[in-house]
Chains A and B, each alone.
Chain A
């Protein structure tokens, strides 16, 4: 199912740099490559804070840190609850009583919300702070995609964000904080150390909430004895299975349960602020399972919050973690079935450099397989939308359209179907419905461009001399400039990476 390109000659190195590693060329970008695609990519890795979005930047004045974002959502949730209660007492006879218990979950971003009952329309609306924050964060992410040079560092951000995903479908507070999670737990570490990213992710309130650890309580802890609550193994299992070691790498159900005990107490402070600032990450000693614990054959002595920190630090350096990360990275950037030699090389670099992700990214650039393997993967929906914007201009002054495109393509932003994130397989994104929607999107994007210029020149700027004769001819013979641009945006050279 893999390679579809008809030529067996190695792909154009510039196309590799911009499409396999990056987010696609903007007009003019290819001129800056100066025949050194590897150097061009590595220069991006050397830029300090290449991945960072600064809250000091006035452009991003609307963004909030995760703790204030969660606080805003908690306050809105409370207000909504009070409004509902007041409505129930004031207007007992109106509305449909049954609808209260079967409220649909919040609609995905950009989708029209389900029709509200008539009574709901007259109530004083609580501002949808979560949706406002979500859109501001989305806009910041699209801005970063537009501004990036090749976009390799942004691609790494998306890779790690999907590896350590949270979903806004979980709850309002995740909708409010998913963007902040990426800025706080992913971006600062994307060229840093894996163990540090792991720690930042697993301690982040959005992750603790998403994978239910904020409610997990040690059965023999003080809280466990007093209250009828106990262990929840969700976070522990997904850390081992998805974030670090990988499924089938040898851990057992007993390891999962034991790790869940170790992680008890890692939680998010609630609205009342009993444990700390509401919406912040805290350690609740009362909920922590006391005593030593055995994980993967090693005993972790009782030690409060440090018990899980020590365990996470060990797991981050486990050989299975290196193998798992290397495989996923090679699958993402090279091929669905990555060459074993490439995986082995990446795993070796991961171990040798203590999980230094800048060294790992540089090793990826240096892999010969990255430059010889045909461009047979598909751009993910986000990468496709970003590439369209980079090629054809930023589009509307609002992230709504791009978010709608992502919904239609089956990759709603920060809303994967499960904790394993979105698929990284080419045939998932080259589905029948997916290709039909890409066609519609290419047309909509092409129609929006005010001054297309000459589509043939755009083809040269975005794809370059390696464009196939058929693609060149299709663009040249288009019946309109819009159609020519849409053909360019649908060309295999624009879809594959």
Chain B
């Protein structure tokens, strides 16, 4: 940085070189592939608003399901029949891609899952889900970032950093490890060396803004480099719309597929708070699930040969009431699903210690009772993909969670 003070250089490349090791990662030479050609990636999709797991993956074989979920229960018959996964569970018909991947053993479901949070506030629930702490009130860093930061110094995955999709960075990936930001947008790029000059000013006056702006410029450059001759992506919809979800995945896949791109990414999709007219096989929730399914498809397409190394996990802060409410929707609940997809997933399985849906089996006689811990799933993915130890996962990544054992064998 002292060098910069004396000889301001017109090119951003030069700023990068003098800006410290933090910035250097985006410009490392392309890696020689490892001998086994295994190059793991992890994509985390946070579904904000509490996904109704019983409408995403319906326990159609449970005799109490149809009665509780009423008009919005999935069914194996009728014009919008759910797609059977096994003899007991069926996925919402809005998710044909997920069903196909499941058949190909590249998708799995963990059902009746929840974090350790047992209240019903979205916002505390999201903070717990994304921070990885046992309780609310920790909003500075997220577990995915701390996982990166816990990798050995010089580890390739750590060096390549993370990717945050959308105009703001989801808590799950906020923290000390470097994170790129990217969102579809189409404003004209500044002419001349304005970016360099602003960065120079920030490096002297506001280092936090310097780091943020640099990462935003880097991600933008990578996205442009990979679409030579193509126009920048125009936003097609917010991240609570099916088109927006698909597009976010498309752009993220492009960055993650690159040899020198980030190996972990976080996306947050909004709109899952379905209190009214939730719909079942069709309707509002089905439209959103179709968007999520489209995102899976875009990742599969965009990652190309890197799909086989990729694990995608979709998580939500909690589930919804087992019984529909008075307005053909569902209120805040507890147990729900974790959806897994990707070539690296040992799929074709619904992993569930099914608690049942009789009144006494429901949590507080109201919600699907949780029998799996979401953190166990996430720990299993981090352990198998990046080699993080149970001790690190139990202390640093998910503090005070030593009792929650990683769920093993989720990865091929």
Contact = CB atoms under 8 A, between A and B. Distances in A.
Interface of A: 1, 4-6, 101-105, 107-108, 111-112, 114, 169, 212, 215-217, 219, 224, 229-234, 237, 241-242, 247-248, 253, 256, 407-410, 412, 415, 417-420, 423, 425, 427-437, 439-444, 468, 470-471, 474, 478-480, 483, 486-487, 490-492, 495-496
B122 A232 contact: no
B190 A105 contact: no
A114 B164 contact: no
Interface string B200-215: 1110111111001111
B212 A6 contact: no
A470 B4 CA distance: 13
B315 interface: no
Nearest to B324: A230
Contact of A483 (B120, B122, B192, B328): B192
Given A217-B326, A443-B190, A470 B166 contact: no
A392 to B, nearest CB: 15
Given A229-B327, A431-B168, A439-B213, A492 B194 contact: no
Interface residues of B, number: 78
Contacts of A256: 120
Contacts of A4: 206-209
Interface stretch (B82-90, B230-238, B381-389, B401-409): B230-238
Contact of A107 (B166, B167, B208, B237): B237
Nearest to B193: A479
A492 B238 contact: no
Contact of B326 (A216, A444, A470): A216
B275 interface: yes
A470 B122 contact: no
Contacts of A104: 237, 241-243, 287
Contact of A432 (B121, B139, B164, B331): B164
Given A169-B238, A231-B325, A420-B123, A431 B181 contact: yes
A471 B209 CA distance: 14
Contact of A232 (B212, B290, B327): B327
A217 to B, nearest CB: 5
A420 B205 contact: no
23 contacts: A104-B241, A217-B326, A217-B327, A237-B121, A248-B119, A248-B124, A408-B183, A409-B167, A418-B122, A419-B122, A427-B169, A432-B164, A432-B216, A432-B219, A433-B216, A434-B168, A435-B216, A436-B216, A437-B183, A439-B217, A442-B190, A443-B190, A474-B197
B353 to A, nearest CB: 25
Interface in B269-312: 270-271, 273, 275-276, 282, 286-287, 290
B194 A169 contact: no
Given A108-B235, A111-B236, A432-B212, 14 more contacts: A108-B237, A212-B276, A232-B326, A234-B276, A247-B123, A247-B124, A247-B136, A420-B123, A431-B169, A435-B213, A436-B216, A439-B195, A468-B205, A492-B206
Nearest to A376: B208
B187 interface: yes
Contact of A233 (B169, B200, B325): B325
Interface in B119-165: 119-124, 136, 139-140, 164
A114 B246 CA distance: 13
Nearest to A7: B205
A428 B168 contact: yes
Contacts of B241: 104-105, 107
Interface string B170-208: 000010000111110101111111110110111011111
Nearest to A407: B235
Nearest to B366: A253
A336 to B, nearest CB: 9
A114 B202 contact: no
A5 B206 contact: yes
Contacts of A427: 169, 174, 208
A234 B331 contact: yes
B371 interface: no
B254 interface: no
A479 B326 contact: no
Contacts of A5: 205-206
A111 B183 CA distance: 14
Nearest to B125: A247
B48 A418 contact: yes
Given A232-B275, A428-B169, A483-B194, A114 B237 contact: yes
B209 A434 contact: no
B275 A234 contact: yes
Nearest to B124: A247
A207 to B, nearest CB: 14
Nearest to A260: B331
A232 B123 CA distance: 19
B329 interface: yes
Contacts of B220: 436
Contacts of A216: 326-327
Closest 5 CB pairs of A and B: A230-B326, A410-B167, A436-B216, A432-B181, A433-B181
A417 B213 contact: no
Contacts of A495: 206, 209
Nearest to A428: B168
Contacts of B271: 169
B364 interface: yes
A491 B201 contact: yes
Contacts of B167: 408-410, 431, 433-434, 437
B201 A470 contact: yes
Given A4-B207, A247-B124, A417 B190 contact: no
A300 B194 CA distance: 63
A417 B268 CA distance: 10
Contacts of B259: none
A412 B237 CA distance: 11
A434 B205 contact: no
Contacts of B242: 102, 104-105
A431 B207 CA distance: 13
A232 B326 CA distance: 6
Contacts of A253: 120, 364
B335 to A, nearest CB: 16
B375 interface: no
A468 B241 CA distance: 43
A6 B193 CA distance: 25
A419 B198 CA distance: 35
A6 B210 CA distance: 14
Which among B121, B207, B326, B328 has the highest number of chain A CB atoms within 10 Å? B326
A232 B140 contact: no
Given A102-B290, A104-B242, A471-B201, A232 B329 contact: yes
A26 to B, nearest CB: 23
A418 B168 contact: no
Contacts of A478: 197
A6 B207 CA distance: 10
A457 B121 CA distance: 50
Given A232-B326, A431-B168, A114 B206 contact: no
B373 to A, nearest CB: 22
Contacts of B237: 104-105, 107-108, 111, 114
A215 B276 contact: yes
Nearest to B123: A420
B120 A248 contact: no
Contacts of B182: 433
A433 B215 CA distance: 8
